[in-house]
Structure 1
Amino acid sequence: MENQAKGQSSRLLSLDVLRGATMAGMILVNNPGDWGHVYPPLDHAEWNGCTPTDLIFPSFLFMVGVSIVFAMEKRLTQTADHGKLIAHAFKRMITLLLINYGVDIFFTFLDGNFNILSILHDIRIPGVLPRIAVVYFICTVIYLKTTPKTRVWLFAGALVGYFIIMTCIPVPGVGYANLQPAINLGAWLDRLVFGTNHLWNQSHVWDPEGILGTLPAIATGLFGIRAGTWLKSKNIEDSKKVVWMLVYGLGAVLIAIFWDIFFPINKKLWTSSFVLYTGGLATIALGTLYWLIDVNNYKRAAPFFVTFGMNSITAYVLADLVPGIMGAIKFNHNGKPANLYGYIYQTVFVPYFNPFNASLAAAIALVLLLWLLMYPLYKYKVIIKV
């Protein structure tokens, strides 16, 4: 991991703002004070459908694609050696995977399990950060080795191909293609490759970040590459860039709504309609922010979100570590076992709000706490690179 002091002039500020807003949203929805009292928009759709919370993860993957364009174009001015750039991307993927599994092992130790063989036997292999890492690497290779026209065909092929795979290929042991949680083809493949011990939902033996779902997730990254290519172009006026992004995004959303009839919008399966729906909304959001911030210089709210956005991996790790460590600090309170996170929630928030608002207030407080921890990096222009 590398520390680099750097100004923000060479960065796409609207992208940092969108990334920071998405990160703040992730912290908010992942850390309610009480999981039994969560407002519906701050929770995932149970299966089919899409809530605002379901937009967070695909927005990250979309922004991975946008970032690849800006990062690779800069590095291509320094070296024409694609092999070196691919090796760097591979190293970054491995680093992200190690961070993910390192955090998981750390929390297992905090829970009192010091048997490394037991930890490795049960550790979850798929996950949010592993999917980001894999999509980043594959999309980097695609960006370096293909033309824009080829990437359009790969994007369409991934979406149509995934639709055919999931709706036409019979599931072994079931006998027919289906989109149900535990018996779809993706769940079967994950059990075959990983076994049930290494999946997110061991009781239902499936994983929302499984192997097959990585194919359309790559398409989400390619969606971001398409948007990034437009924004990076020097031959298109800013107004035309924004109009095309809004039209392209709206078109994707409309196609997704139609496709939802046949292939439901579903985050856990990462369906092709979900890719178009979330990618379209992300394109509209980025195009709007680009017009407001980078073109028309409306930057008043930018510092709050850029604090998260310019060091998103650091924020991501802290969003796991801080509440996790607070929850691991245990003590007796009035003769009953308690932990620091629960104690603060029960004494600071519960007495003064109704259950839903107390849960939300605790989540907002954690967002502000993590912002304070991240602010010195923003203030001194320090970017922690992976």
Structure 2
Amino acid sequence: MLLLQRLSVTHMINNLKPGRILSIDAFRGITILVMIFVNSVAGVQGIPAWMQHAHAAEDRMTFVDVVFPAFLFIVGMSIPFAINSRLAKGDSFWKLQQHIGWRTVGLWVLGIFMVNTEEINAAATGMSVALWSLLFYVCAILVWNVYTFKQSWISWCFKGAGMAGLIILGIIYRGGDGSERLAPQWWGILGLIGWAYLYACIFYQWFKGNANAIMLMIAVCIGYYILCKQPFMPKGEWSWIASQSRNAAHTSIVLSGMLLTLFYFDEDLDLKGRRLFSKVCGFFVLLMMSALLLRPTYEISKIRATPSWCLYSAAICVVIFSLLYILIDVKKVSKWTAFFRPAGSNPLLTYILPDIVYFGMMLAGVSLPAVLNQGVPGILWCGCFAILMLLLVKGLNKLGIRLQL
């Protein structure tokens, strides 16, 4: 009861600047562009090590290993705006939790389905990998598309058809040797974002958007990860406690983005000029110093979601966003952001679109020339492909296809 009373909010939590923040949209759009590029270039042979993910056993990170945390960071930056927007529209406490829960479940479902596309046993499933995957994406679009019909029942018919399709695809799915059912072998990128998003939303509401409390929770998340790695932690049936260590680490990145939003855009904090500069610089230095102190014990590793990787990644995101903020919101150099706007406002469609194209080509029996799968030509093609995906999203937006969890 205490938790519910503490979370029950019907008024604005933070006094945030109104309207869309171009620098956040640009940061999101650039991150998605780079994400498409690095996902594509991962299949190219003969690329330099700095363009590849660091291996699990290595104590290092490349720019590729910063893409996922950048997305987590942006999720955190968006949470205060999203929650306060819904409260401003009159959402009750329970309606707000319903929205957060629906969004979390959606990310889990999408993550699990996407992970399992890699393990399909076509013979046991009764259809090819490409066909099953494309049907999944069609159903996902039906469920999460933003419809503009005046009669809401039409929208629910499309959503219902998509949900039914997902259930059927989940039932007929077989993986591995043909006996494996659809299951979270791991949560996938979207599923991991879902866990971190859920925890961050709970913390944000629980502490009523207090910047000092959010800073404390970043430390708590890092501390929880460290605690879970100790040999005395429970095993067996209680191992689920330790299994949340990765989610706690990811949540620390989301909370870092949330805190930066409060520094820049919470008008009650009234951070401007030198005060804002010193606050942001202090946060950056704290993240860097903490990562440096933890690194000897907890090596830098995206795959292991180590504290040093989380903190270094968050620090890098602080710098990137601050530079974008100065350029776009302070200097008003913003025309160039129009290219990223469709992807920035429609990240889910942009994220799944390359897979749709890939499985569509597979189903049609179309493949790229061998020269585009190696070396410099392959790298250049991946860059062009990423740009094409952003242009395609823009076209799909005009056709009324826009996904929202």
TM-score category, normalised to shorter length:
0.7 to 0.9
Q: How does 1:148-297 map to 2 (within 5 A)?
A: 148=210, 149-166=212-229, 168-169=230-231, 211-235=244-268, 236-239=270-273, 240-297=275-332
Determine the structure 2 residue equivalent to 1:23: 32
Q: CA RMSD in A?
A: 2.9
Superposed, which structure 2 residues align to 1:1-386 within 5 Å?
10-32=19-41, 34-47=43-56, 48-79=59-90, 81-103=92-114, 111=122, 113-114=124-125, 116=172, 118-119=174-175, 121=181, 123=183, 124-147=185-208, 148=210, 149-166=212-229, 168-169=230-231, 211-235=244-268, 236-239=270-273, 240-330=275-365, 340-341=366-367, 344-346=368-370, 349=372, 355-376=374-395, 384-386=403-405
SS at match of 1:384: coil
Matched to 1:158, the amino acid is C
Shift of 1:35: 3.6
Q: Note the C-alpha offset of 1:226.
A: 0.6
Amino acid at match of 2:334: K
Aligned counterparts of 1:80 and 1:73: Cα–Cα separation in 2: 10
Cα offset for 1:281?
0.9
Residues 33, 146 of structure 1: CA spacing in aligned structure 2 closer, same or farther, 3 A cutoff? closer
TM-score by length of 1: 0.76
Greater fraction of residues in strand: 1
Query: Which residue of structure 2 aligns with residue 178 of structure 1?
Result: none
Q: Are the equivalent residues in 2 in contact too, given 1:94–1:133 (CA < 8 A)? A: yes
CA drift of 1:324 comes to 2.9
Cα distance in 1, alignment partners of residues 400 and 20 from structure 2:
12
Q: Within 2, Cα distance between the matches of 1:329 and 1:15? A: 38
2:356 aligned partner, one-letter code:
L
Change (3 A) 1:382 1:117: closer
State how far apart, in whole Å, the 2-side matches of 1:250 and 1:305 are.
Answer: 30
Residue 315 of structure 1 and its aligned partner are, at CA, apart by 0.5
Aligned equivalents of 1:66, 1:381: Cα separation in 2: 27
Asked if the contact 2:55/2:303 (under 8 Å) is kept, the reply is no
Give, in angstroms, the shift of residue 170 of structure 1: 5.2
Q: 1:238 to 1:373 in 2, by over 3 A?
A: farther
Amino acid paired to 1:273: S
Instruction: Say whether the 8 Å CA contact 2:73–2:317 is kept in structure 1.
Output: yes
The percentage of aligned residue pairs carrying the same residue is: 22
Change (3 A) 1:227 1:259: same
Distance in 1 (alpha carbons) for counterparts of 2:305 and 2:359: 28
Q: Which runs of 5+ in 1 are unaligned?
A: 1-8, 173-184, 194-209, 331-339
| Cα distance change, pair 315–238 in 1 and its aligned pair in 2 (3 A) | farther
Aligned-partner Cα distance in 1 for 2:261–2:123: 45
CA distance in 1 between counterparts of 2:282 and 2:63 reads 21
CA distance in 2: counterparts of 1:135 and 1:34, whole angstroms: 28
TM normalised by structure 2 equals: 0.73
1:207 matched to which residue of 2? none
Q: Please tell me whether the aligned partners of residues 221 and 248 of structure 2 are also in contact (alpha carbons under 8 angstroms).
A: yes
Moved more, 26-35 or 95-104: 95-104
Q: What per-residue deviation string (whole Å, max 9, x for no partner) do you get for residues 21-61 of structure 1? A: 11111111111284432222221111321100000111111
Structure 2 residues without counterparts, runs of 5 or longer:
1-17, 127-171
Counterpart of 2:65 in 1: which secondary structure? Answer: helix
How many Å apart are 1:139 and its aligned residue? 1.1
CA distance in 2 between partners of 1:364 and 1:134 (Å) = 31
